[in-house]
Structure 1
Amino acid sequence: MSTNVVSVLNDLIETSKDGEKGFLKAAEETRDASLKLLFQDRAQACTTGARELQEIVQRLGGTPETGGSVAGALHRGWVDVKSAVTGHGDHAILAECERGEDSAKKNYREALDKDLPADVRAVVERQYQGVLENHDRIRDLRDQHAAAKS
């Protein structure tokens, strides 16, 4: 069972690393000081979450992931292209961040469908709640920026 648990956790580590890199990229792209701080804070939260999962993988005797996924790299590349086309608009950046959080929500939901030990499940559940809060906060900000544009 622990090999499967390690695999599930390594997938979530990749998800967290993707979030970290995506939020750092968003912080670079925005000109809004409050969004920059928010994105930097969210990147730090992703870093902390990844470290926590890496420690569990090591405790289980596995080798923890250290990087993000290919899909995450492609997503960040798409953010670059879209930012160049839209002139780094905050609405577009927030929309991309929300899309990234949609992916994280899906990955965490799938992990919670797996057979995880109770202590591991508790950590994944807590992190999933953080992903949901991130998503909703980013979505609300995206909607505010959309309203401001019109």
Structure 2
Amino acid sequence: MDTKDVISTLNDLIETSKDGEAGFKACAEDAQSANLKNTFSARAQECGKAAAELQALVLQLGGDPEDSTSVSGDMHRRWVDIKSAITGKDDQAVLNECERGEDVAKKSYKKALDKDLPADIRSVVQRQYEGVLRNHDQVKALRDSHQA
């Protein structure tokens, strides 16, 4: 895989991480429960750190790192805002939307890991992917326990 492709892949993951950061911030703002607000705020910070780590890798490779969210992430948040305005922002709805966002992140990281990344970069992407899986599983567990 050439450097340009590696940079492009990392920039895609930066957008994904930025989407996660913005999405978790929005979930923290919309959640009613103080526990959920704290959980989502912590996840937003983790996503921001992941994006910064990926940006540093892009810079090391001589590339121009992405610094914004994706158009699809922005559209998803707008749709969530509209849906929330109509249905109300209860914690169950917030958790459902948060899980949807984590499903997208899982796919993005899996797609990156299916590529022939250099070993040092693959290890960073793998570690971050494991964090995405933990986030997803935690949000899913919170959603399931909230339904019960």
Give a deviation string over 1:93-115, Cα, whole Å, max 9, x none.
Answer: 00000000000000000000111
Match of 2:62 in 1: 61
Moved over 6 A (4+): none
- Report whether the alignment pairs 1:103 with 2:131: no
Q: How big is the shift at 1:86? A: 2.0
Alignment-mate amino acid for residue 63 of structure 2: G
Match of 1:34 in 2: 35
Alignment-mate amino acid for residue 132 of structure 1: L
In structure 1, distance between residues paired with 2:82 and 2:135: 24
Q: How big is the shift at 1:64? A: 0.1
Q: How big is the shift at 1:81? A: 1.4
Match of 1:52 in 2: 53
In structure 2, distance between residues paired with 1:79 and 1:94: 11
Give a deviation string over 1:70-125, Cα, whole Å, max 9, x none.
Answer: 00001111111121122101011000000000000000000001111000000000
Match of 2:123 in 1: 122
Identity of aligned residues (%): 61
In structure 2, distance between residues paired with 1:63 and 1:119: 19
In structure 2, distance between residues paired with 1:70 and 1:45: 21
Q: How big is the shift at 1:126? A: 0.1
- SS of residue paired to 2:67: coil
Query: How many aligned residue pairs are there?
Result: 147
Q: Trace 1:69-148 onto structure 2 (pairs within 5 A).
A: 69-147=70-148
The alignment's TM-score, normalised by the length of structure 1, stands at 0.97
The alignment's TM-score, normalised by the length of structure 2, stands at 0.98
Q: How big is the shift at 1:31? A: 1.5
In structure 2, distance between residues paired with 1:138 and 1:85: 23
In structure 2, distance between residues paired with 1:15 and 1:79: 17
Tell me the C-alpha RMSD between the 2 structures.
0.6
